Amino acid sequence: MARVVIFAKTADIAVVHRMRINMKKIITEGTNKKTKNIDIVSTLKLVEMINNEDKYVAKAVGREKKKIAAAIDLIAEKFQKGGRLLYFGAGTSGRLGVLDASECPPTFGVDKSMVQGFIAGGDYALRNAIEGAEDSFELGAKDLLEANATQNDVVTAISASGNANYVITVLKNAKAKNIKTIAICCNKRAKMKEYADIFICPLVKEEVISGSTRMKCGTAQKMVLNLLTTGAMIKIGKTYQNYMIDVKATNEKLKNRAINIVCELANVTKEQATETLTLTNFEVKKAVVMLWFNTNLEIAEKLLKDNNGVLRKIKE
C-alpha cells in the first residue's frame, strides 16, 4: 500500500500545537468526566445525566448577580434617554439574542427598534449554519455600522467562548466610539473581556457533549438575557407589581390576559374590564387608570403622559 507523506513547516506545526493548548484552556471545549459513558447508558440514565448537569446553570448565573444587576441599571438608564439595547452574536448565541429581542415588543409594548438582535451572517443564519461567520472581523464591523450604534445605546456581545472574532470586533469598535458595552460568555479567559464595561460570565463548566455549547452555555445565556430585558423593562415602569401592563393584546389569549389584569388591578368584573378595554383599544394601563379614578380616556392619557407611563407614580 502506497503511503502519503505530508511535510509541514515547523512554524505551521507550532501554530497547530499552540491552538491545541489554547483549546484545552477553554472550559467550554473541555471533556465532562461525568458523562463519559453517555453513549452506552439507558435512555433514562442519559436524561438524568443531562438534567443533573443542567442544575448547575441557575447557580452559575446566580453567582453573576451583581454584574447582571449593574447591566440592568445601565440598560434602563439608556432606555430612559431614548437609547437601545443591541445584541450581537454568532450561531446559537446570535439566535438567542434575536429571540430575546423579538419577545420584547409583544411582552412590554415597546417599539421593535428598542431591543435589536444581530447574528453573524444575517437572517439566513437563524436557520442555517454559515461557515466562518463567527471568525469574520468584517461581519462584526459591518453589523455594528449598520446598527448605527451611538453613545445612547448599549452594545451587548454574546458568545460561549468569548473568543469569536465577530463579537470581539463589535465590542472593540463600540468601545472606540465610547459606547457602553456588555459581554456575556462562559469562559473567564475570554478575549472579549478586554473590551467589556460589564463582563458577565456564568461558569457552567464542561458540556454534557464536549463543545456542544448550545446546551449549558446556551441555557445560561438565555437566562442572562431574560434577566437583562425583563429587569430593565421593570425598572422603566413596564410592569405594575408583577403584572404585564404593557402587553400587546394581538390575539384572543392576550386579550383574555389583558382582561384578567384589569380585573385584578382595578377590582372590577370581567364585563367592566372588557368594556373599558374596548374604549382604550385594549391598552391595559389606560383602562386601569380610567377605572381607578372613574375618569375618561383623555384624562387617563394625560395622567400617564405626565408620569412617563409609570402606574406606580400615578397610584402613589
Q: Which sequence positions are flagged as catalytic? A: 103, 134
Residue 182 belongs to what H/E stretch?
Answer: strand 180-184
Tell me the three cell numbers of residue 245.
401592563
- What whole-number distance in Å separates Cα of residue 88 and Cα of residue 110? 20
Contacts of 248 (CB under 8 A, 6+ apart): 105, 106, 109, 254
Alpha-helix runs per DSSP H in 63-196: 65-80, 91-108, 137-147, 165-176
Which of 215, 191, 5, 189 lies closest to 92, judged by CA?
215
Q: Within 13 Å, how many C-alpha atoms sit on residue 150's CB side?
A: 8
- What whole-number distance in Å separates Cα of residue 204 and Cα of residue 29? 12
Dihedral angle computed from the Cα positions of residues 278, 284, 287 and 289, in that order, rounded to the nearest 10 degrees: -170
CB 57 within 8 A of CB 202: yes
Residue 135 belongs to what H/E stretch?
Answer: none
Backbone angles phi, psi at 183, to 5 degrees: -120, 135
CB atoms within 10 A of CB 80: 13
- What whole-number distance in Å separates Cα of residue 311 and Cα of residue 225? 25
- What whole-number distance in Å separates Cα of residue 203 and Cα of residue 118? 24
Helix 284-293 crosses helix 297-306 at what angle (to 10 degrees)? 110
Contacts of 227 (CB under 8 A, 6+ apart): 61, 68, 72
